[in-house]
C-alpha cells in the first residue's frame, strides 16, 4: 500500500485525533481512556497508516449511555404510539388530555421482554432495565424471561408484546430466538408459535436503538415481528462498502485493513462477514468492524469489546 498523503490529510489526522481526545476528556466516549487512545495511536508508524486509522475513527458511530437512553426511548415511544392508534375508532384522541390517557392505558396493557434471556448481563436486559429505571415502564409490564412473559400473557389483558435490545446486528439472533423451537416447560415449541396459541392476533414488536436496514427487512420477513429502530444503518456505515470511504480512498482503505489482518491478526470483518462502524459505551457488537475492538498481547484496540478502562 503506497499512497502519497497530501498536506491537508495530515491536518485531517490532527483534527480527528484532537476531537477524539476532547470526546474522551468530557466523557462522551465513556468507556475509553486517554491512555488507551494514545497507545492505540502510537501503533501506526507511517503517515499513511495514521490517515486511514484516523478516517476509520472519524466514521465510528459511538453511542454513549445518554445516546442509548434517548434512542430506545424514541423507538419504544413510537411502538406505544402505533399500538395505541390501532385501538382507536374515532378522532377524539386528537385532544391532548385524551391522547395522554390513551398512551397511559396502552402502556399498562403491554408486556416488555428482553430479546435474549440467557444472561442478566446481556444488552437486552440492560435495555429493559433502562426502560424501568427511566420510569418508562413499571415492574408490572417487565418480564424477566420468556416463561414470565407467557405466564402474564395468559393471566392479563395484554394489547401487545414488545421485545427489546440495543441493536439488531446480522438479524440471526432475533430470528433464531423467536422462531427456533425450544423447551418452554410445558412443551417444545417456538416462542412465536406459543404466543400464537395463547393470543393468535396479538401484535409482537422488536424495538431497538439501532439496526442495519437489510437486517430489519430480514427479521420482518422471517419472523413476522414488527420492527422499530430509532436509527437505521446503511452502506455508508459499513466499512467494507465503497460509500463508507472518500471515493479516492476505498481501495487503499480496504488494503490497509487487509494488511492489519495479515501483519497484526486483526480481522477485517466481524460476525457473519459484517463490518459496521458502530459501538456502544457498554461494549462493541460482534458485527462491528474488528478494527475498532479486537486486541491481543501485541495490539491494543481503540475501544474495548466489553467493559471500560479504569
Q: Is 273 left (phi over 0), alpha (psi -120 to 50) or beta?
A: left
Residue range 230-270, pLDDT digits in tens: 999 999 999 999 999 998 999 999 999 999 999 999 999 99
Torsion over CA: 211, 213, 216, 218 (sign): negative
Residue range 271-294, pLDDT digits in tens: 989 999 999 999 899 999 999 999
CB atoms within 10 A of CB 215: 26
Residue 145 confidence (pLDDT) above 50: yes
| Cα gap 156→110, rounded to integer Å | 9
Lowest average pLDDT, out of 113-117, 220-224, 228-232, 257-261, goes to 113-117
DSSP H/E element including 124 = helix 123-133
Tell the residue number behind the cell numbers 495479515, with chain if given: 262
- DSSP-derived letter for residue 273 is G
* Structural domains for the chain: 7-59+241-293 (no CATH), 65-233 (3.40.50)
Tell the residue number behind the cell numbers 393468535, with chain if given: 200
Amino acid at each position: 500500500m503506497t499512497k502519497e498523503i497530501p498536506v491537508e490529510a495530515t491536518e485531517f489526522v490532527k483534527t480527528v485525533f484532537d476531537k477524539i481526545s476532547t470526546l474522551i476528556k468530557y466523557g462522551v466516549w465513556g468507556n475509553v481512556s486517554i491512555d488507551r487512545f494514545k497507545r492505540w495511536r502510537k501503533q501506526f508508524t507511517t503517515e499513511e497508516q495514521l490517515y486511514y486509522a484516523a478516517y476509520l475513527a472519524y466514521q465510528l458511530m459511538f453511542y454513549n449511555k445518554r445516546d442509548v437512553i434517548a434512542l430506545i426511548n424514541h423507538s419504544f415511544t413510537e411502538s406505544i404510539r402505533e399500538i395505541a392508534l390501532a385501538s382507536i375508532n374515532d378522532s377524539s384522541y386528537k385532544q391532548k388530555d385524551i391522547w395522554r390517557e390513551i398512551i397511559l392505558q396502552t402502556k399498562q396493557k403491554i408486556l416488555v421482554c428482553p430479546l435474549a434471556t440467557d444472561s442478566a448481563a446481556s444488552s437486552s436486559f440492560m435495555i429493559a432495565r433502562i426502560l424501568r429505571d427511566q420510569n418508562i415502564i413499571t415492574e408490572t409490564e417487565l418480564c424477566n424471561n420468556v416463561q414470565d412473559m407467557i405466564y402474564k400473557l395468559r393471566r392479563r389483558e395484554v394489547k401487545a408484546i414488545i421485545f427489546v435490545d440495543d441493536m439488531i446486528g446480522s438479524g440471526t439472533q432475533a430470528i433464531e430466538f423467536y422462531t427456533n423451537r425450544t423447551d418452554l416447560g410445558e412443551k417444545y415449541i417456538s416462542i412465536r408459535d406459543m404466543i400464537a396459541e395463547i393470543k393468535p392476533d396479538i401484535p409482537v414488536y422488536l424495538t431497538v436503538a439501532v439496526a442495519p436496514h437489510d437486517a430489519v427487512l430480514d427479521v420482518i420477513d422471517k419472523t413476522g415481528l414488527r420492527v422499530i429502530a430509532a436509527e437505521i444503518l446503511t452502506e455508508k456505515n459499513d466499512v467494507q462498502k465503497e460509500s463508507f470511504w472518500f471515493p479516492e480512498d476505498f481501495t487503499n482503505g480496504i488494503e490497509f485493513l487487509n494488511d492489519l489482518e495479515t501483519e497484526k491478526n486483526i480481522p477485517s470483518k466481524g460476525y457473519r462477514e459484517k463490518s459496521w462502524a458502530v459501538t456502544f459505551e457498554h461494549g462493541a457488537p460482534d458485527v462491528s468492524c474488528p478494527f475498532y475492538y479486537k486486541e491481543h498481547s501485541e495490539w491494543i484496540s481503540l475501544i474495548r469489546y466489553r467493559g471500560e478502562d479504569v
